[in-house]
Amino acid sequence: MTDPGAVGPSSTSGPVGGTPQRLRGGVLGMADIATATMANVGPAMSFFFGFAFLAVTAGVASPLTIVAAGIAVALLGNTLAQFSRAHPSAGSFITFVGKTFGPVSAVTTALLAGLGYIIAMASVIAISGGFVQITLHHYTGVELPWIIWTLLLTGLSVVLMLRGVVVSTKWAGYFFGVEMLVLVVVSVAAIVEHRGHLSADPFLPDHISHGLRGLAAGFPLAVYLFIGWENSAALAEETENPRRNVGRAVFFSIAIMTVSYVLFSYATVTGFDYDVAKLGHARIPFIDVAHDTLGALAFVAYIGGLTSTLGVLIAGINSQARLVFNAGREGLLPSFFGYVHPTRRTPTNAIVTFAAISLLIIGGWGLGHLLGPHGSMNPVVFFTESSSLGAILILLVYLASNIALPLYYRRYRPQEFRTVRHLLLPAIGALAILVPLYYLAKPGQPAPYSWFPVAALAALLAAVGYATLLVRRDPSLAERVGSVVADAE
C-alpha cells in the first residue's frame, strides 16, 4: 500500500483549505541539523545540573549508566531515522504516530508533545537566568533576581529565531562549540591533574551501587541528559535531502554525546577522588572540578554553562515550535499556529506562543511557591521539577512512536519491511522507555514528583477526549495528517 501522505503541496489542503504554508526548504545541511541537535541536548547545562544526582544513584560506575542510556537513545534514533526516511515531516513524532494510528492519535500526540516540550523548555528558560545569577554572584557578589535575566535572554533568543532558521541555527552552533571546547578542556585537564590516581572503577559493573537495581534507578537520569536528540526530525522541511540527512544527524549526534558524557563523567568522578557522597553534596560538581584543576581560569566553565543554556534555548524552541506549527498547519491545533512569516519563512506565531506559554508556566509555578510553604522558587530546583514532568509526556510520545514503526512499515511499505530494523529494534526501544517511565511514575515519591504521574494521566485523558471531539467535528483531519512531506516538490 502506498503511503497516502506522500504527496506534494499542490495536492494538499491547509487547515482552512488551499495550499498549506511552507517553511524555507533545503537551507540546512547535515552538519547544521546535527549541530543544532547537540546544541538542543545542551551537554554543559544537562551535565552541570544532572550528574550529581545520577552519580549518587548509580555510584562510581555512573559512566556505565550513561553508556546504557546512549544505547537506548540510539534505539529510539533508529525509529526516528526510519520514519524520516519514509516520510520526512516537520511534524516529526506527531506525523509518524498519526499516519499509523489515525487522526485521533495525531491530535493526542500533538497536544502531549506540545505540552511536554513546553514544560521541559520552561526548565531551560528558568535555568538560563538562574545560571547568570549564579555566575554574577560568584564573581561580583551582585544578587539580581534571576527572572530578569530569564526574560532578557528569552527575548533575545526569540528575536534571533524570528530572523530565520539559518541565522538562529548558526548561532546555536556557535554556542555549542564554545561549551564543548570548555567541557573537553576541563575534563582533559582534570584527568591529567589526577593521572597518578586514575582508576578503571567507573567502568566496572560491580561498582554500580546496588547492581542492576542501581543501574535501573540511574537509567532515567542518564536518559535525561540526552533529551533533545530528536531535534533534527523537526527541521526536516528546511533540510537538504532530509530522507538521508535526518537519520545521519540523529545517529551522529547521539554517538558524539555518548562519548562526550562518558569523558565528562569520568573526569568528574576522578576529580572527586571517586567519592560519590562528596560529589553528591556539590552544587555543580563539574564547576568544582574546574576550580580545583584550573584555579582562576575556572571562569571558562561558567562561560560554557552560559553558552549552553543559550544554545538550548535557541535550538530547542526552534525545533519544538515547528512541531506546533505543523500541527496548526494541518488542523490538529488551531490554524493560528500554522502561520509562516512571508519573507523569512519562520513559524512566527508558534515560536512566540511557545516561549510565552513557557514563561507563564514559570510564573504560575513561582506563584505556587510563594503561596505555599517553600517561599520563593529556586530556578535549579524548578529545572529538576519541570523537566521531570515534561519528560513523562515526552516519553509517552517516544513510546507511541516505537510501537507505531513496525505497523507503519507493514501497512504502507511492506516491501521495505525488515524484521530487525523495523520490529526488533523499536520493540527493544519501547521496553527501554518503560524503565524511566516506571521510575518517574512509581508511588512513594516526595511532592511534587508524587503528583506528576497523575497530572500526566489527566493530560493524556484530556488530550484523547479533545482529539475525539475534534475528529468528529472535522472528519477531513484523517486526510491532512502528514499531508506535507518535507522534500515534496
Among 117-121, 202-206, 411-415, 481-485, which is the least confidently predicted range?
Answer: 481-485
Residue 315 has pLDDT above 90, yes or no: yes
- Which tens digits make up the pLDDT trace of 417-447? 999 999 999 999 999 999 889 988 888 889 8
What are the CA-CA distances from residue 410 to residues 10, 404, 414 (Å)?
28, 10, 5
Better-scored residue on pLDDT, 186 or 15: 186
Q: Report which of 80, 89, 95, 114 is spatially closest to residue 22, judged by C-alpha positions.
A: 89
Residue closest to 453 by CA, chosen among 466, 428, 430, 436: 436
Beta bridge partners of residue 28, listed in sequence order = 239
Burial status of residue 434 (CB atoms within 10 A of its CB: 0-12, 13-18, 19 or more):
exposed
Please count the other Cβ atoms lying within 10 Å of the Cβ belonging to residue 438.
Answer: 12
pLDDT at residue 7 tops 50: no
Which residue shows C-alpha cell 516529526?
92
CA separation, residue 186 to residues 48, 51, 65 (Å): 13, 16, 22
For residue 327, CA distances in Å to 17, 118, 339 come to 15, 15, 11
Q: What is the pTM of this model?
A: 0.90
- Lowest-confidence pick of 60-64, 127-131, 353-357, 372-376: 372-376
- Does residue 234 carry a pLDDT above 60? yes
Rounded Cα gap, residues 249 and 329, in angstroms:
25
One-letter amino acid for residue 388 of the chain:
S
What digits encode the pLDDT tens for the residues 152-175? 999 999 999 999 999 999 999 999
Under DSSP, the state recorded for 27 is -
pLDDT, tens digit, for every residue of 264-293?
A: 999 999 999 999 999 999 989 999 999 999
| pLDDT reported for residue 258 | 97
Q: Decide if pLDDT at 489 tops 50.
A: no
Burial grade of 413 (CB within 10 A; 0-12, 13-18, 19 or more): middle
